[in-house]
Structure 1
Amino acid sequence: MSLNATERLRTSEELKTNLRLSGLTPGEAAADLHFTPRRLRDALDASSDPADVWQLRDYLEHAARDAGQHPTPYTVLTDRARLLARAWFSLRKAPRHDFTAPS
C-alpha cells in the first residue's frame, strides 16, 4: 500500500493542519514521538516510512482533540485504510502529549 502524489499531498496538508490545531510546535511533536526533526518533516510530508506517517496521524488526531479542537478528518488515512495498512506495515501506538506539563 503506497500513496500516489495526490494522496501524499492531501495527507501532508491534513497532517500539517492537525499539527496547527494541536497548538504543539514541531519540536514538541518530534520529542513526544522520539523522531528527529528531519524524520518529523518527512512524516509531515507523507514521504517517509508509512508506519511513521500512521503514528504521526494518530498522535496529531489525539493532540488536536486534547487541545479542545476538532481535528481535520483524514481522507486517505482512514480507519478502513488502517485495516489494509496493518497487513503491510507494523503500525505503532501513538504517544500522547502531556498538555499539563510545562513546555
Structure 2
Amino acid sequence: MSLNRTEIARTGLELTANLERSGLPREDVARDLGFSTRRLTETLRVGPASDPADVWLLRDYLDREIRERGDLPHPWTVLTDAARESATRWFALRTPPQRRAS
C-alpha cells in the first residue's frame, strides 16, 4: 500500500488539522506515542522517512483524543476505516496508548 503525492499531502494536512483540533501540545503527543519531536514532525508530514505504521498510530491517537473530548475529527479521506483493512495486511498497526497526564 503506497500513497501518491496528492494522498500524502492530503494526509499530512488532515493529521495537522486534527492535531490542532485536539488541542494537545506536540510535546505531549510525542511523549505519549514514544516519538522524538523529529519523528513526530516527519510523521505529520508523511515524509519519506516516516513509518506508515507511525502515521496510522498518530491518526488513531488523534482520532480517539478528539472523540473523547466530545468533538469530531476533521474527516479522514485517505486513512479511512475501510483503508485500515488493507493497511493491516501491509503494516504492523498498533493500538495507540492512553494519554498520560502532563
Q: How high is the TM-score relative to the length of structure 1?
A: 0.91
1:54 aligns with 56
- For residues 1-103 of structure 1, what are the structure 2 equivalents within 5 Å? 1-47=1-47, 48-98=50-100, 101=101, 103=102
Flag as ranges the 4+ runs of structure 1 deviating above 4 A.
none
Q: Percent identity?
A: 54
* Bigger mean CA deviation after superposition, 89-98 or 34-43: 89-98
* Bigger mean CA deviation after superposition, 43-52 or 60-69: 60-69
The alpha carbon displacement at 1:80 in A equals: 1.2
Instruction: Give the distance between the partners of 1:42 and 1:66, measured in 2 at CA.
Output: 26
Q: How high is the TM-score relative to the length of structure 2?
A: 0.92
Structure 2: which 5+ residue stretches go unaligned? none
The alpha carbon displacement at 1:20 in A equals: 0.7
CA RMSD of aligned residues (A): 1.1
